[in-house]
Amino acid sequence: MKVELPEIPVNYKEDLHNLEYLNEADLILFMAGNQFMVMEELLEVFQKVYPEVKKIFYETLPPGLELKQILAGGARFGDMEIRVRPDVYTAVSEEAMQELMKRGLIEDYFIYLHNRLVLMVPKGNPARIKNLKDLTRDDVRISQPGPLEDITRYIVEMYRKAGGEELVHRIMEEKR
């Protein structure tokens, strides 16, 4: 049975790091997208400790897309196929790791951090945001992850708990 490879959107090119090492990498990392900001420093320190690891290919894509890539045995990116198995995969859900265990693709996993959702406002809170329902106001502009990001499901659940489907619809559909 032929498995359809997931497509990595071309606008995610900056999330595929060191593509030139793809087929000769000493280490392959599939890191959660929001970890892109620490990777350069992290790998610099890592390579000082492990200087023999010279060629590192890593992705900072949404973990759900990386999970699909692992399960399918690869992904398409433009006119190329990326067919590698990561040495490390970071996910935002324990369910993803359990799925990999169930399929025999990993032996074990561990939780290395917990995220928490926060509501950030400009200094002084000029829009006087006091709760999530204030986000529905027309004068409030929202910046949040896109629908393909795994963390979005937790954000939607937070909106649902705070104000039901009406709040979810207003913020996720009408204000997008």
Taking only the tens place, the pLDDT of each residue in 63-99 is 889 999 999 999 999 999 999 999 999 988 889 999 9
- Of the three residues 46, 80, 102, the one that is the final residue of a domain is 102
Domain that holds residue 165: 132-174
Q: Is residue 62 part of a domain?
A: yes
Judgement on whether residues 83 and 25 belong to the same structural domain of the protein? yes
Judgement on whether residues 94 and 149 belong to the same structural domain of the protein? no
Count the domains in the chain: 2
Closest residue by Cα to residue 32 from 112, 103, 99, 102: 112
Model pTM score: 0.76
Judgement on whether residues 22 and 94 belong to the same structural domain of the protein? yes
Judgement on whether residues 98 and 139 belong to the same structural domain of the protein? no
Q: Which uninterrupted H or E stretch holds 166?
A: helix 152-169
Location of structure tokens 């890593």: 58
pLDDT band of residue 36 (cuts 50, 70, 90) is: confident
Residues in a beta bridge with 77: 80
What does the block give as tokens for 7?
């497509």
Judgement on whether residues 14 and 98 belong to the same structural domain of the protein? yes
Q: Is residue 115 part of a domain?
A: no
Judgement on whether residues 87 and 15 belong to the same structural domain of the protein? yes
Judgement on whether residues 88 and 28 belong to the same structural domain of the protein? yes
Residues in a beta bridge with 7: 76
Helices (H), 86-138: 94-102
CA triplet 153, 12, 81: central angle to 5 degrees? 110
